[in-house]
Chain A
């Protein structure tokens, strides 16, 4: 059996990094397109989805100690259906890594290195992800813990600096299209929030699983807080109509920073630099989940083969889309897959677990 190396508090970094990633750069537009200037309510509402997802994974683990989510699915839905779902999970995770890597390199190309070939950026971006996963969960946990303050600080810095250009008129009119767009908007958050699924894969590594619960809650609050701050600020600074036109609203937000003194020009490049580690941490958690999922799928313990075998797949996916628009189209499809997992598979597993538990307790009595 694997050695349990993680402490309860380490879960905080996994939850925040798993959910706050490269999508933070684009989410204001995705949400505002549906929820217009009430998009911030969609984000607030998505907290419910985040808590539901986070605690579902936690609860499933308490019912199946020492099993990760792929093993739990297999145990509940049988080997055949289990494997099919694992294939779907593999497609979902690997394409998420690939498309995120693409979105990431697109933004790097746009703001930092406009003439460097995309393939070089993709490979360079993939390097730390592969290196991180190859070093094991304890190392990953240390790296994520170290980078957590960066996520929080850069969000706070952006909020504080950009709040100089806020126009409070932009958040009106409130709920002029009713509640439906707000609800629909919150579904856009399912994809980033499903990053919380890392819980399902790392729970068996914690030495005191009960302590994890508190940190899942705090982690969800931090990530929802970050999304809420960024979306609200985009709406307040640009207004919903302008936000819809922006490819990277969050980076444009840093462009809006106005300072009295001329400390640095082009703040967006600076913020882009700060987002690099954030993008990395999310992709690395996905990659780790993917490795564990594939191990269960192939009933294999060949770490190196499975870890390195995925590299060509997500690099291929990363160079596949023809343009930024294409990439968003594919990300939309992945979002559908995310919703399928969040609202069909996970409830199904929960119901079957409940059913099985009841049967066991009935048999006992």
Chain B
């Protein structure tokens, strides 16, 4: 039987495709624990061949052979030594003549939370790979999987990319159970539902849907659930893979799901009736459905006074306009409509452009390109060196380019201003969106002046209006002139009449 299995297993190239991974799962499902313990060990060794980190610890349970199998590094040694092996050895000393079954071991001996009796090899192998340990006893056609995971984890730290001033300091870590617990800690409600799914044939990544079942619209939850169940891929690494697999529109620069590393942000979104999608192995968890206004709201907004927050929000919306349009607008005004600017300003611009070799569009493109390189370099380099990039970029390139007579000082000012305005967005993903839009409007302005920019803006608004994320429109907050929806957009209504924007996610469909 074993030979047959081995032939089946190695006759195909198991390392390549998704289909073969499925085959292995199907094969494993077909096998159950054998009565003879040696057969079981041989079977596991065949499957986990060339894996020297798998530990096979032999034990004697009275007069029967038992074996404890686990993967070193995935388990907590303290649990293995003190709560499993020592308990089993003590039992041998304390008791006399006894015939032990798997159930006896589970119920009377081990000091482990929820050990499970399993028969199927698919469950056994999955358990081993996720850090559980396996206890096999001779002459028993059942085995015991024991919860002994003990992966090293990072401690809770302050969020790295989403800093806040008045909010809590804790961020998510890479462990899904701890992350779900961080939400539970904030929402102590029986209606908070947590659903687990396992995604990725090879990675077996744990994904959780967390929502309040009385608040989250049923059609939204069902749609997200459906999309997640439909995922059939080899691997899921991080939440971005899930995000890209479940979103509606793949060919857009706008994110339709918000990724956050702040538990307070995710918790308030769940309280609004949104659904959190938490993925194991990443501190970035997702909120769906994402709407346009969400990306302008930082978690700090909810800790500060309404009027001040509203002013800051208006500044963010204006920054969005400036950061995306200003370079294009400059080119449009100087190349096509200099008459629209005040005479003194036109004279200044003309004066600063005297003797420059490049047309303003090329100048602008060149400087934008430089800015993008600087931004990219500053992120990739280690922290101490990245500051140097700022100095080299800002001072050396900026100033010397002007002094050398390559670009006009006004272009440097505009690029600088554009860069700063694009830093005010609370989410980095959205800042990236803005960088893409900038090039789009620069092309519009360069070819057709103000007309091009306005036409491109209309196209952009149509595009934004057409995006739908899980049955909810991207611009859900802004149409139909509903006061309730506008309460958490560019203005923020006072607390506690508002906690996020519960109205927005109801979407088109009536519940």
Which among B339, B340, B459 has the greatest number of chain A C-beta atoms within 10 A?
Answer: B340
Taking CB atoms and an 8 Å cut-off, the chain A residues in 133-172 that contact chain B are 135-136, 138-143, 145-147
Is B480 an interface residue when CB atoms closer than 8 A count as contact? yes
Partner of A276 from B451, B461, B465, B482 at Cβ < 8 Å: B451
CA distance A155 to B282 in the complex (A): 51
CA distance A142 to B461 in the complex (A): 9
CA distance A269 to B466 in the complex (A): 30
Is A262 an interface residue when CB atoms closer than 8 A count as contact? yes
Nearest Cβ on chain B to A161's Cβ, whole angstroms? 15
Partner of A128 from B342, B343, B449, B459 at Cβ < 8 Å: B459
CA distance A97 to B459 in the complex (A): 18
Is B452 an interface residue when CB atoms closer than 8 A count as contact? yes
Nearest Cβ on chain B to A132's Cβ, whole angstroms? 5
Is B55 an interface residue when CB atoms closer than 8 A count as contact? no
Taking CB atoms and an 8 Å cut-off, the chain A residues in 272-294 that contact chain B are 273, 276-277, 280
- CB of B478 within 8 A of CB of A142, answer yes
Is B66 an interface residue when CB atoms closer than 8 A count as contact? no
- CB of A276 within 8 A of CB of B454, answer yes
Q: Is the interface of A mostly helix, strand, loop or mixed?
A: helix
- Cβ contacts under 8 Å, A266 to chain B: 337, 339-340
Is A88 an interface residue when CB atoms closer than 8 A count as contact? no
Cβ-closest chain B residue relative to A142: B465
Q: A266-B340, A269-B340 are in contact. Are A125 and B455 (CB under 8 A)?
A: yes
- CB of A143 within 8 A of CB of B462, answer yes
- Cβ contacts under 8 Å, B336 to chain A: 112-113
Is B341 an interface residue when CB atoms closer than 8 A count as contact? yes
- Cβ contacts under 8 Å, B480 to chain A: 7, 9-10, 145
- CB of A141 within 8 A of CB of B479, answer yes
- CB of B448 within 8 A of CB of A142, answer no
Taking CB atoms and an 8 Å cut-off, the chain A residues in 1-28 that contact chain B are 5, 7, 9-10, 12
Q: Is the interface of B mostly helix, strand, loop or mixed?
A: helix
- CB of B455 within 8 A of CB of A128, answer yes
- Cβ contacts under 8 Å, A12 to chain B: 481
- CB of B455 within 8 A of CB of A145, answer no
Which among B455, B458, B473, B475 has the greatest number of chain A C-beta atoms within 10 A?
Answer: B458
Is A352 an interface residue when CB atoms closer than 8 A count as contact? no
Nearest Cβ on chain A to B469's Cβ, whole angstroms? 14
- Cβ contacts under 8 Å, A139 to chain B: 462, 465-466
Nearest Cβ on chain B to A299's Cβ, whole angstroms? 28
CA distance A159 to B455 in the complex (A): 25
- CB of B342 within 8 A of CB of A143, answer no
- CB of B508 within 8 A of CB of A5, answer yes
Is B258 an interface residue when CB atoms closer than 8 A count as contact? no
Is A270 an interface residue when CB atoms closer than 8 A count as contact? yes
- Cβ contacts under 8 Å, B481 to chain A: 9, 12, 145
- Cβ contacts under 8 Å, A142 to chain B: 465, 473, 475, 478-479
CA distance A273 to B451 in the complex (A): 7
Nearest Cβ on chain A to B481's Cβ, whole angstroms? 6
Partner of A124 from B341, B455, B465 at Cβ < 8 Å: B455
Is B450 an interface residue when CB atoms closer than 8 A count as contact? yes
- CB of B454 within 8 A of CB of A277, answer yes
CA distance A263 to B344 in the complex (A): 11
Nearest Cβ on chain A to B465's Cβ, whole angstroms? 4
Is A265 an interface residue when CB atoms closer than 8 A count as contact? yes
Q: Contact size class for B?
A: 20 to 34
Which among B343, B466, B473 has the greatest number of chain A C-beta atoms within 10 A?
Answer: B466
Q: How many residues of A contact B (CB 8 A)?
A: 39
Nearest Cβ on chain A to B79's Cβ, whole angstroms? 56
Partner of A265 from B339, B465, B508 at Cβ < 8 Å: B339
CA distance A220 to B448 in the complex (A): 35
Nearest Cβ on chain A to B318's Cβ, whole angstroms? 16
Cβ-closest chain B residue relative to A148: B481
Q: A264-B341, A273-B454 are in contact. Are A116 and B479 (CB under 8 A)?
A: no
- CB of A273 within 8 A of CB of B450, answer yes
CA distance A143 to B462 in the complex (A): 6
Is A354 an interface residue when CB atoms closer than 8 A count as contact? no
Q: A128-B462, A141-B479, A145-B480 are in contact. Are A276 and B455 (CB under 8 A)?
A: yes
- Cβ contacts under 8 Å, A135 to chain B: 462, 465-466
Which among B342, B344, B480 has the greatest number of chain A C-beta atoms within 10 A?
Answer: B480
Nearest Cβ on chain B to A341's Cβ, whole angstroms? 29
Is A339 an interface residue when CB atoms closer than 8 A count as contact? no
Nearest Cβ on chain B to A287's Cβ, whole angstroms? 13
- Cβ contacts under 8 Å, B448 to chain A: 113, 116, 120, 124
Is A121 an interface residue when CB atoms closer than 8 A count as contact? yes
CA distance A289 to B482 in the complex (A): 26
- Cβ contacts under 8 Å, A131 to chain B: 459, 462
- Cβ contacts under 8 Å, A342 to chain B: none
Taking CB atoms and an 8 Å cut-off, the chain B residues in 483-511 that contact chain A are 508
Nearest Cβ on chain A to B451's Cβ, whole angstroms? 5
Is A127 an interface residue when CB atoms closer than 8 A count as contact? yes
CA distance A20 to B468 in the complex (A): 29
CA distance A365 to B274 in the complex (A): 56
Is A60 an interface residue when CB atoms closer than 8 A count as contact? no
Q: A131-B459, A139-B466, A142-B475 are in contact. Are A264 and B451 (CB under 8 A)?
A: no
- CB of A145 within 8 A of CB of B461, answer no
Is A103 an interface residue when CB atoms closer than 8 A count as contact? no
Nearest Cβ on chain B to A275's Cβ, whole angstroms? 10
Q: A9-B481, A141-B479 are in contact. Are A132 and B340 (CB under 8 A)?
A: no
CA distance A174 to B230 in the complex (A): 74
Q: A131-B459, A138-B508, A269-B340 are in contact. Are A113 and B466 (CB under 8 A)?
A: no
Partner of A113 from B451, B482, B508 at Cβ < 8 Å: B451
Is A108 an interface residue when CB atoms closer than 8 A count as contact? yes
| Interface bits B30-61 vs A (CB < 8 Å: 1, else 0) | 00000000000000000000000000000000
Q: A146-B479, A264-B340 are in contact. Are A127 and B450 (CB under 8 A)?
A: no
Nearest Cβ on chain B to A15's Cβ, whole angstroms? 14
Could you list 13 examples of A-B contacts with CB < 8 Å? A9-B480, A113-B448, A127-B455, A135-B462, A141-B479, A147-B461, A262-B343, A263-B342, A265-B339, A265-B340, A273-B450, A276-B454, A280-B458
Beyond the given A120-B448, A128-B455, could you list 16 further A-B residue pairs with CB under 8 A, ordered by the A residue number?
Answer: A10-B479, A12-B481, A116-B448, A132-B458, A132-B462, A138-B473, A138-B508, A142-B465, A142-B473, A142-B475, A142-B479, A145-B479, A270-B340, A273-B450, A273-B454, A276-B454
A-B CB proximity, top 6 nearest: A142-B465, A145-B479, A135-B466, A139-B466, A142-B479, A128-B458
